[in-house]
Structure 1
Amino acid sequence: MNYFNDQSNLAGLYDLGFSGPQFTWRRGQTWERLDRIFVNSMWFSEFIHTSVHHLSMTRSDHGPLLMNISASNVKHKPSFRYLNKWSSHHDFLNQVSLVWRDCHHLNPLIKIWQLQKKLGRHLSNWNWKTVGDINLNVVEAEKTVAKLEAKLESNPEVEKDLLVANENLMNVIYLIAASAVNYYQTLFKQPSDLRPPIQHDLFCRDENFMRALDLTSIPREEEIWSALVSIDNSKVAGPDGFSADFYKKSWKIIKDDIV
């Protein structure tokens, strides 16, 4: 081991250290930290906030290493993002109705912004209390596995419990993975909408009509709704964090302020 360390130092490589379980390999009652991540000085100069975490040994005698690279170790509050799954909840529209009110700013754009911020905070809290965090089961399962692995080093009798905990962790991960796979399989099986060829003669024939259009007039509610329904619900949300799905499903509640 000393020879290995000496050669690593000569090569200018440095062990990043770790957090989490102490060992990364196990055979019987033998535990070792065999897996490591080494970097050089150039890496440190480019990615100073790099950390390594030892994950649990699930269905393997080796524990995988998770490297996290961030520009800063300062944690920022994540911005609001609307989740399309919320609209399928039976109480969703009721929650929107409860909050989308009592803003009386004279500027309609500021009023909508205030309503969106207010509703965003409310839906985030409602999600935690009612819908739940989709990653919470994974986190809890990982904690259970980590605790049992720590006990196994001194108490071999918990190995059966560890096997059950590992199986539960894999099942929870599989549910999330299966949902993602199903979504993309369905998406890619959908027939593509081929646009018809452009008929250039229409532009010449209707040139006078186009010039007569009043494109600066305020759009009607029907025009706004027609444009809205043409947007795919799976499109990425805009800067306000709300996707097209929210505006479609909540239109009857919010349309007076939007129009």
Structure 2
Amino acid sequence: MDDFNDMMSDTGLIDAGFEGEPFTWTNKRVWRRLDRVLYSKEWAETFNITRVVHLPRRLSDHHPLCIEATKAENKKPSSFRFQNMWLHHQSFLQTVKQSWELPIEGYGMYKLQQKIYRTKELLKKWNRETFGNVFTTVQQAKQKRPTRKKKFDRDPSEANLIALNKSNAVMVHALTLEAEYWKQKSNCKWLEAGERNTKYFHSLVKKKRVKSTIHRIMEGNQEITSPDRIRDSAASYFENLLSGQVTQSSATDFPFQFPRYQRRSATTSA
């Protein structure tokens, strides 16, 4: 199983998980999960939801697998996220300090809210100007290095050596920032310093995103799968709760139920 997990890490493949019975094969004495669905980053970018259901076994010793893939809808603007890589930049603390110390008229929580908002907007602007697009920077650095290397091979002058070393330093720095970004986004804490397996990070991020997304709910006896209707149902409940239209006894009861599916991660023993 370790070799299988290493293969998934090296290739960036993602285990789709499953719903239904935990095992897919049996010889009437032993039960194992031998069948699973793996998908690539390209698949995940095309289909934002991939569901695998273990159907009931008939004559075969294997359970059939039903795969349901839903195409990605238009992405909504992402919310503000603090990036750990900012902490390594020498101007970060001074940038925050300058924003926070600017005076604001008002009292209490209003001043705090305005300071947080102003600092957030300043950090977004600072990030664009200081780091730009990390992934674009990595690609540009990778493209420039071979050119600098060839130029140095043809003419090993001091100027070309300095240019080559600078190109190498830029690429290493860009790769470090990229790894830091994916490590934070995947919430992976156990990898050793210097690990830059971005394919593995990306697979963890995709798996987290799938698991944290509500794909369907039960409202009464009706199953709802539309993202807009799921959002509206939840918003309606909390609007009624905050407006006092929900009784105290039902204040903790949602008007819908979340399906209880059994899922296993890629590291589950087969």
TM-score normalised over the length of structure 2: 0.28
Considering only CA atoms, is the larger Rg found in Structure 1 or Structure 2? 1
TM-score normalised over the length of structure 1: 0.29
